[in-house]
Structure formats: structure tokens, C-alpha cells
Structure 1
């Protein structure tokens, strides 16, 4: 055990320390972002520590998800279980020998004691306290007793835990980097070593933060009430505590705390499933509890990179009021990022969603990929999420006779739909499209281009039939895409080609009788 605080690190060392108990929480990314912004600004070190001492809730797949999702967001760490580092191991379950000497010292110094109370006795004790409207907390039945003395009393269990012996004058205030002087309730006799030999969070976090040289502990405000316990442990062990910063909790629109049980977006994996871009998610998290920068004209700059956020970061700017998790704002941001992507980059990001949906196979052909690039240019302004792409893209890869017409699109057709389709078929049949491999001269004579397709259809339907442009092309959109809302119509027809376009128009026309 380290007997005294090591020399202070010359640069800040911060950490994020999630528990692998299921899908990683979005709050983990939120905390990681603020930690990492400060670390990179100060040229310090960022540590990922896995706090896996809760063996009852431990989920073996959660740790891998944690690495995957944080890496996807670009919130990368300098030290951790997967990359190693000078303070390894970085999993608490692999550090059990580290904690035992600290526990033994606390017991020897009279700051901790063994407790043999059974789970049943503790439950009955809490129930009684609640009925009598007394403060809940351990009643210290085991304090000052040997095992033999305690065994003669009710509610005894063979395997004890170890509890802190909190003095009446325990400090209840501490300095917070974000909040200033903070007051918290007086702590009770917290368990610091469980019956299974694993430390609780309270002991492990103090020992690990000390041994790993952590300079700033940044965590959610729900840990404010626990901080006096940690300050006590630092004092008893003769260690210098880190600086504390307690971030406001993420809230739903009704001000309730976001939870994985009630809110799917509390799961960090949900954002990739839904088709959010990682840079948009990071940008959005950076707007929570933190003011946007001001542009030269004084307006808020709501779209920024991690580098922008880190460069100007200051703890003093953090707003302690719980930020509202506004998914509409995230959707808007994501759409902005999608439209800013290079077409090849966007097509590459769409590909996994199209393959998952079965629109494209595992190994698409060069022709299919070339078509995807053309389609991507059409649909980039029509998506807020990458997951919306399969519905927009699928019509371009399905056989003409297998295209499904959505019921709402079919129901929206007017009585003049057959006449509109007849006029469109005649007009498009009149466009010259050379057969076979085109020579340069033949390519110049090819009339199957969006501009000429549009001109022919406007002449035939808008001018020829006297229909308003807003209503004229609905039947054509339905025939070509199967949807009421689709990518740009004339460009879609150009990509599909004359043969497929006419086949789809004729098919819908025949179905209408």
C-alpha cells in the first residue's frame, strides 16, 4: 500500500470509470467528453478504468461495447484495460490485492470495523426506521464487538463486511470545481468491503484515484452525497484528495433523469443503431450543460468540432442546471452533418445500413456501388438519420415487377392518375436513348437526362393537361419509388434508366385499370 501521496503529476490526469452492467449509458460519453476536452487542452492524460466490483450486475459483453462505442465517438483514452499503461491493471476486479492493505489499515486505526449483520436483519432495521420516520442508516450493532460476542446476538452471519466508522463531526462540505462550496448530508457507516471480498465503489474509487495519480474527479451530481465519505477516507489514509467536479444530470423534457429502463436513447449503442453520425453526437453532448461559442456577429455557434470545444473549454462555463436531452435538436444537428459530408464519405457510411436492411448484399458489385454514389447525391438532403436511407434507396435496387407500392401512396392517387401516367409514358417514350455501348457522338444524342426528362414531362402534364406542378407528378413518384415522398423524381428516373422507368409507369397504370 502507498503510505503517502506521490508527488503531484505535472499535468492533469482525469478518468472515466464506468461499470460494465449492460449497454453503456449515454452519460458515460457525456462525462468522457468533458474530461477529455480538459485533458487535451491541458496536454494531460485520460484514463479509462473499468469498475467491475458489482459482480451481481456484471455483464461480460458490456466492456467490449464500452470500448466500441467510445471509440466510435472518437473519445479515446491514453490508458486503460485494452491499451495498458503505467498503472495497470485498469479493471478493479484485477486489483483486489491492492485494496486489502488499505482496509486493514483503516481497521487497525479504528476508522473501520467488521459487521456480521445478516441481510434479513438489515432489511428489518431499515423497515423499522422508516415506520418510525427515523433517519435510515446502520445502527452500529457490531461496533466494538468481537465475532464471538456478535454471534450470540440475533441476525448474525458468518461472513462479515467492513464498514467505515463515521465520526459525529464528519466534514459535510467540500470544494467543487464547478459549484464552489458544496454541502452534503452526513454520511452513515458505509460498507467499504463486501462479504465476497470485493471493495465497494467508495473504497475502490479512493484507492484507485490515488494510486493512478488522478488529479480531477469529474462525475455526475448524484455522487455529491457520497463525496464526504471519500474525503474522510482520504483524510484517514493520509492522502491528498483530487479536485472534484460534479456535472449536472441529463434530463428528459419532463425533467426526469434519463434511464436505460425508460429511455432507449440512454443506451449509447442506440445512437449508432438509429443512424446518428458520431461527430453530431459529440457536438450535441457538448451543447448540454455548456454554452455555445459566439460567432463574429454575436450569434450562437451550435455546430463545432471536438477540437473547437476543447480549445476554449473552461469548467467555469458549465451550467449546473440539468440539461434537457432534446432529440429534435440532435436530429437537426445530424442532418446538418449529413449534408456537409463528401458524397463518397456519406455513401460509405450508408452502406452498412443498406446491407443490414437487405438492400445490398455483403459484397456489392462495382455497378451497384456506382449507382449508390449517384443515389446518395439525391437523398442527402432528405435524411436526418442514416437509418432512413434504406427506404429511400431500396427502390433503385429492386426488380421493376417487385417494387412494393406503399398503401398511403396508393391511397393518395387522384382520379386523374391514369391519364397522367398515360401522358408521361408517351412523353418519355419519345426521348431518344441509343442502344448498346455509346460512342461519343451517341452520348451527345442521348436525351435521358434529368433536365430533358423534366422538360418532356412538364410539357405533357403541366402544360398539356393544365395541372399544377405541385400535384402533377404524384402518380409518377408513386410508380417509380413506391412512396409518397421520394428522392428527386427526374434524377431518380435518370438513374433508373428509360427501360425501368417506363416499366414501372406501365405497371402502375395497368393496376389502375
Structure 2
């Protein structure tokens, strides 16, 4: 939604890597983010690979900047070094929980000017000094409206760890201001983070950006979507599964925003219609069936040549070298009507249309390749072999001709052909199926079915 708003307003979309969690922020995880955004067509104006006036765009490359601002706040009496040990704080937290209350840092080091005996400033975290006395802080969220919190609900929060790495609430404020960010749209779990951030803006004399807190995306288990728990959270998993980027983008935006009853929404329509007033307030639950439905709609809407191009890697993964095959356009037009993903199309194509021979389903064969059905199939085979051309119209005409001659319904003729060609009782139309299998292979498969008699 940051992207949509930036594009709608003619603004600058900045991609910043908040990589201070070194355990989770690896070169591989960064590349996964870049790959996912690029695949979805979400292009950024400034950020990794597109250096702009506010570089660098990785927080771990901006540590000196954070240190300078932390030192400034300490010098102005708006922050201080805290030497409390983890053990002391854990004990205080447990005592508060045992008493049935919430732990708030009691300000032990708030007025300390020198480190305790045996300690040095390099061992201290840096805490923001909340203003003394009563008061409140509020902001008008573009999605949720006005939200207020009293100062008494906030404590002297940690701004910077002892190793010089900023915590989220500190680093993002410094970066957002220095990068001239005017809008921050993020998940609703960050609503409470906004209040200490606003206090920091106030302390530094800066004007905060606008905020919009968006509904969370929940996994199918109704827990917050997380890569550690949900494979759905990995964008590139969907690419590997044969989901179209247009479908995934459409699906995700609809989890938190709507435009009337519209379901299939293009990027152009998103850019035209998006407004924060239409953003919901309740979390959206990941619905795999809805994603598959949307994906099928997009496979049917996109130009055939686009689907063909995206299908080729899936065929190649199955050992099928189909680039340049004249049947591809027809195959896509035919199979996308009954497939949910590119993987589905590739599987059907590889198993039925790009191989020699077919494995028959025994139940289907017993029902449709015996008795009178075989006689009808023989007549079809004779008529097909005599055809001068191999078009859908001519092939469908054979089914009609044989059924009329035998005074039976066309289904009585079509099903034996379908089973002989595909091995089962479901396929596209007979004419299309014969075209896709090809003349020589189709006659071989029918001959193989006839030998079962």
C-alpha cells in the first residue's frame, strides 16, 4: 500500500533494509526480498541497487548516524545511559508479573551521570527519557483514525543497545526524517510503537510523517503470517508453485482493502482506485482456495503469449523442451480453462501431450474401451486416418459423423477417444485434444487402445 500511495501521488517509493537483527538478516534473506518485489513488479525509486541522495539504505551501514543522534539526545538531557543488567531487569519483570501488573522500567539510571564501579559507558544501553509529569500523545491514523496514549503508559524505552545497534523505534525515526519520508504505512502490530516514536520526534524537534496502520495477514491457522510458520509468507514459493504475480498481488491487496465487490483487480485499477478510506480494520485470513481461483482468472485474462512464456520453465523442469512448439498457444488456451496454476498446466501437458504413449486408467478403460465402444473407436480411427487435414473443426466433425452413422449420442463416441488419447475420462474438447496430441501420436494411441480387445 506504500507503493500504491507513492505511485498515485507521484511520490518516491523508498526501499530500506532494516537489517539490525543480524541473526535473521542475511544476504540470502535480503535477496529474497528483492527477488520477491521484482517478481511482483513492485519497483522502488531509491534503495538497494538504486542508490539515491539518502544512501546507504541498509541500517547496519548507518550506525554512525544513529550514534550521533543518540549522543545529541544525551547531551540535551533527553536520553541517558542505563547500566542495569539483564538479570536485574528480568527479576523486576518477574516480580511485576507475580504482582499482577505490567513491568515498566523504574528509571534506576535516569539521573546517573557516571557508570557504577567496575562498569564503563561501552557496556550501557541508551534509554529515551520520557518527559516527567502528566500528558498524552496522539496521532490521526489514515486507516484507524485518532489514537491517544497517556505518558504514564510509556516508560524510558531502550533506544540503542550496548553494541551500538539501534532498536526499531529509534532507527526508523532517524532514517524516516533524514530520508524525507512523509508517509509510513505498516502493520497494526506497530500502532503501539508509534507513541514512543512520536515522543522522539518531539524531542528532536522534527515533524513526524503521516501514519497508516494496516490489517495484519493471518495464516490459514489464524496466526500472524510468518516465514517461520507459514510457507505462504515466502513470495517466491508462489512463483515456484505456478502462481501468477498479478494474482498474488491482487490476492494480498484484497486481504486489507476493497473496492466495492470487485475481486479481480489489475495493477492499473489499484493505482486508480486505492484510498486509505477503503482499508479495513480487521485482519485478513489467508485463503488458499481464493488464491487459486484468482490465479485461474488471471491465467485466462492475460495474453496467451504471456502465459506461454511463463509456462516454459515449468515444462523444462519436467524434461519437456517445448520452446517454439506450434502447439503451445492452443495448449494454453485449452488447459487454462481447467487449471489453477502453471504447474497444473505443465503437469497435464507433460503427462499427456509431450510424451509417447499413455497409461490408461483401468476403470476408465473397462468402461469405455470394450464392446460396442471399441467398434465405434475403430470407425473413428478409419475416418481420422483418411482426413486430409488435422484441424479442430475437421476432427470434431469426425465425432459427429460417426455418432450420426451409428445413431448414438456424441458422448458415446467421444469418451472412447478421450480415454484412448489421455488415459482418463476428462480432457478438453475432442477436437482440441486430438490437435494437441498430434496426428501420428493420436493414431498410435488409438491403435494401442484397440489392441486391448
So what's the TM-score if we normalise by structure 1?
Answer: 0.79
Residue matched to 1:297: none
Per the TM alignment, residue 269 of structure 1 is displaced from its structure 2 partner at its CA by 1.6
Root-mean-square deviation (Å): 2.7
The answer to whether the Cα contact below 8 Å between 1:291 and 1:317 also exists between their aligned partners in 2 is yes
Match for residue 495 of structure 1 among 430, 436, 443: 436
Q: How has the CA–CA distance of structure 1 residues 95 and 483 changed in structure 2, closer, same or farther, with 3 Å as cutoff? A: farther
Q: Which runs of 5+ in 2 are unaligned?
A: none
Per the TM alignment, residue 117 of structure 1 is displaced from its structure 2 partner at its CA by 3.1
Could you list the per-position Cα deviations for residues 281-326 of structure 1 after superposition, in whole angstroms to 9, with x for gaps in the alignment?
A: 2233332332315xxxxxx333332222222332222222223433
Match for residue 363 of structure 2 among 405, 411, 434: 411
Tell me if 1:136 matches 2:103.
yes
**How do residues 140-155 of structure 1 correspond to structure 2 at under 5 angstroms?**
140-145=107-112, 148-149=115-116, 151=118
2-side partners of 1:57 and 1:120: how far apart?
Answer: 25
Per the TM alignment, residue 162 of structure 1 is displaced from its structure 2 partner at its CA by 1.3
Match for residue 166 of structure 1 among 115, 130, 133: 130
2-side partners of 1:431 and 1:330: how far apart?
Answer: 41
Residue matched to 2:353: 396
Residue matched to 1:344: 305
Q: 3-state DSSP class of the match of 1:219?
A: strand
Per the TM alignment, residue 372 of structure 1 is displaced from its structure 2 partner at its CA by 2.0
Match for residue 449 of structure 1 among 370, 373, 391: 391
Per the TM alignment, residue 459 of structure 1 is displaced from its structure 2 partner at its CA by 4.7
Tell me if 1:378 matches 2:334.
yes
Q: How has the CA–CA distance of structure 1 residues 416 and 241 changed in structure 2, closer, same or farther, with 3 Å as cutoff? A: closer
Q: Which runs of 5+ in 1 are unaligned?
A: 1-33, 294-299, 434-444
2-side partners of 1:167 and 1:479: how far apart?
Answer: 82
Per the TM alignment, residue 447 of structure 1 is displaced from its structure 2 partner at its CA by 4.3
1-side partners of 2:225 and 2:277: how far apart?
Answer: 25
Residue matched to 1:424: 377
Q: How has the CA–CA distance of structure 1 residues 483 and 150 changed in structure 2, closer, same or farther, with 3 Å as cutoff? A: farther
Q: 3-state DSSP class of the match of 1:61?
A: helix
So what's the TM-score if we normalise by structure 2?
Answer: 0.89
Per the TM alignment, residue 170 of structure 1 is displaced from its structure 2 partner at its CA by 5.5
Q: How has the CA–CA distance of structure 1 residues 231 and 503 changed in structure 2, closer, same or farther, with 3 Å as cutoff? A: same
2-side partners of 1:415 and 1:404: how far apart?
Answer: 15
Per the TM alignment, residue 128 of structure 1 is displaced from its structure 2 partner at its CA by 3.0
Point out which structure has higher relative CO (alpha carbons under 8 A, 6+ apart).
Answer: 1
Per mean C-alpha deviation after superposition, the further-off stretch among 41-50 and 456-465 is: 456-465
Per the TM alignment, residue 53 of structure 1 is displaced from its structure 2 partner at its CA by 0.9
1-side partners of 2:254 and 2:281: how far apart?
Answer: 13
Count of residue pairs brought into register by the alignment = 448
Q: 3-state DSSP class of the match of 1:122?
A: helix
Tell me if 1:77 matches 2:5.
no
Tell me if 1:216 matches 2:173.
no
